[in-house]
Structure 1
Amino acid sequence: MKNTWLRAGVLATVAIAVTALGVPAAQAQAVRLSWKPTLLPLPAGASPLGHGYLSASDGHGEYTGSFIVDDKLQVVSWRGGRPVLRGVPEGYEWAMVQGEDSSGRVYGDASDYDTSSDRSFVLDATGFHLRENPAGYRDFQMRAVNRRGDAVAMLISDDPAADAPAVWPAGAAAPTILSFPPGTDNVVDIDDDGSILFSGVERDIVWKDGVSRPLADIAGFSNPHGSAIRDGVVVGFASNANTSQAVRWTTPEQPRRFPAATTPST
């Protein structure tokens, strides 16, 4: 059963944030100075503590996430600043949004508490559409979606050693099962050109068409890890014995630190 949604940092109110991913450093600094948060109201029946996450956008003013409403984790979209309750797939009590493409299709994972059934879904103007898990796997756990609707995920089997990464191309009838590039064990994000950000113990890599490009270290820091990729640019962090440093890779081989963006290592 998927009950891990309740993490540190649960939101009491919702605020829209903008990311500097893909913006040149000088421009990013200017953009930061003009950012203003917009508080969004929760839908009627939402948990009084506002349990949930705002996690996706279509890039055209719609924002979507998952929030506890009437004791279920349900999909909520904000249009014109107002919440629209979109619910959960029939027979399910848990729907976690993982992404939204530029056409407004929402992608996520659903769970039925009674049967422990896990299914991925696509939500469009006609409603929820559940996807069948590939043969031999009990779950297709989405990690991210790009603008055109390609979803990257982990395929989960009864034997953890047989878990595998996969991409479900937009509009395809079934996912494409991949192999982990050497040194990696999970997937993080997918770019619009199909490049995939894989995570590893020592460093993350950007992979496309069988070619792996490890994230480079930055002076004084190692163990580079990415949080997101867009238009070939990766943002993430690297660390040393005492500190973690925010880093932006314009290519996997070209890291650049974000000034004054450090936190103590724990």
Structure 2
Amino acid sequence: MSGVSLARAATVAALIGTVVGTGLAAPASAAPNPVCTWQAQAVAAPAGLDPQYASVTGADGLGGYSGYYAPNSGDITLLRWTGGVPARLAPPAGVNWVFPRGENRSGTILVDGMNTATGAKQVFTLSRSGSYHSLPVPAGLTNPTGAAINNRGDVVASARRSSDDRNVVLLWEALSTGSGPRVLDLPEASFPTAADLDEDGAVLVSGGYEVFVWRDGVTTRLPEPTGAVVGRAISDGLVIGTSYGSSARSYVWDSRGGKVAYPERGRTAEGVNRNGLIAGERVDGPASVWQGSTFLAELPALDGRPGRPHLVADDGSVFGETFEPGSVPVQWSCR
């Protein structure tokens, strides 16, 4: 799932009108060591480039991660980090604007692409070896926008239906014998927008301040809290997000069992992995991690600069960015 802070991603992705989600995929590993110490380190930008314009949007859960370098919304370079060292990736043929949306365990990156001269948009997967594959979009649908890719290669995206100008969700199933995606209309949702994708193919849908999970043809609405809510990520059935009532607070929803819990003093929840490790911010400000709804630790500042997390990899790494003063990408690890 949806990769970049949400604020930075919203600015960069304004060209295609969507907020990045996070698409994480990796096998479960041991739960975080309760006696380890969280440490912050800067994520390197390509040599000679200003790190404030780099962001991480996906991780393979095995130590590798991917993202972009963007000094402005029209100039975006795809990046892949191996051993902490970034490499620039070429865009697909015929495309001059790209944006990464997530990465799975095999190192396949989900990429939005556009030819700005024609306005034609496509959704691609990019293999670790460097091969692009364009995902087919049914006739009558426009503005495809990727959201997440899972381990087995399923991809979820959003699109606009020309006949009635309504949003729909597209699900390309890697194990399907068909060449095109499944089109999910979700009449229960006023503005269905793909947010993330679980390993079992369950789709997190969050749009119009509503949250749903589509699983095996059944759509289930977040049972609580009521009011304006957003869903950020889903992993192993757990959905995390934020409620914007009289004051913001985070929630974690077991979408299989139905139970909703509230992370201790959690204000936002931005990322979750298959072990239930959640990253977000507390009501009193600091970036923090929880195990389910149980508070674990505050995430340390990098060189005195606090951070905002947005992505949790299945190896337990947390990615985000610093602020006040200046924004640079940061990785937190518990050792």
Q: So what's the TM-score if we normalise by structure 2?
A: 0.63
Aligned to 1:256: 261
Aligned to 1:74: 77
SS at 2:263's partner residue? strand
- CA RMSD in angstroms, aligned pairs only: 3.1
Task: For 1:180 and 1:227, locate their aligned partners in 2 and report how far apart those are by CA, in whole Å.
Answer: 18
Aligned to 2:242: 237
Task: For 2:43 and 2:209, locate their aligned partners in 1 and report how far apart those are by CA, in whole Å.
Answer: 39
Task: For 2:79 and 2:121, locate their aligned partners in 1 and report how far apart those are by CA, in whole Å.
Answer: 20
Task: For 1:184 and 1:244, locate their aligned partners in 2 and report how far apart those are by CA, in whole Å.
Answer: 22
Kindly state the Cα deviation for residue 150 of structure 1 after the two structures are TM-superposed. 0.8
Kindly state the Cα deviation for residue 143 of structure 1 after the two structures are TM-superposed. 1.2
Q: Which has the higher contact order (CA 8 A, sep 6+)?
A: 2
Match of 2:186 among 177, 180, 185: 180
Q: 1:7 to 1:261 in 2, by over 3 A?
A: closer
Mind listing any 5+ residue stretches in structure 1 that lack a counterpart?
11-18
Task: Tell me whether 1:42 sits opposite 2:45 in the alignment.
Answer: yes
Task: Tell me whether 1:216 sits opposite 2:223 in the alignment.
Answer: yes
Mind listing any 5+ residue stretches in structure 2 that lack a counterpart?
10-23, 268-282, 285-335
- What's the % identity of the aligned pairs? 26
Q: Which runs of 4+ in 1 moved over 6 A?
A: none
Kindly state the Cα deviation for residue 222 of structure 1 after the two structures are TM-superposed. 4.3
Kindly state the Cα deviation for residue 226 of structure 1 after the two structures are TM-superposed. 1.8
Q: So what's the TM-score if we normalise by structure 1?
A: 0.78
Q: 1:6 to 1:73 in 2, by over 3 A?
A: farther
Q: How does 1:65-214 map to 2 (within 5 A)?
A: 65-68=67-70, 72-124=75-127, 125-158=129-162, 161-170=165-174, 173-185=179-191, 186-201=193-208, 203-214=210-221
Do 2:45 and 2:51's aligned partners in 1 also have CA atoms closer than 8 Å? no
- List per-residue Cα deviations over 1:143-198 (Å, max 9, x = no partner): 11122221111123445624321101227632111221413422211111011111
Do 1:76 and 1:87's aligned partners in 2 also have CA atoms closer than 8 Å? no
Do 1:121 and 1:130's aligned partners in 2 also have CA atoms closer than 8 Å? yes
Task: For 2:8 and 2:122, locate their aligned partners in 1 and report how far apart those are by CA, in whole Å.
Answer: 26
SS at 2:165's partner residue? helix
Match of 1:54 among 49, 53, 56: 56
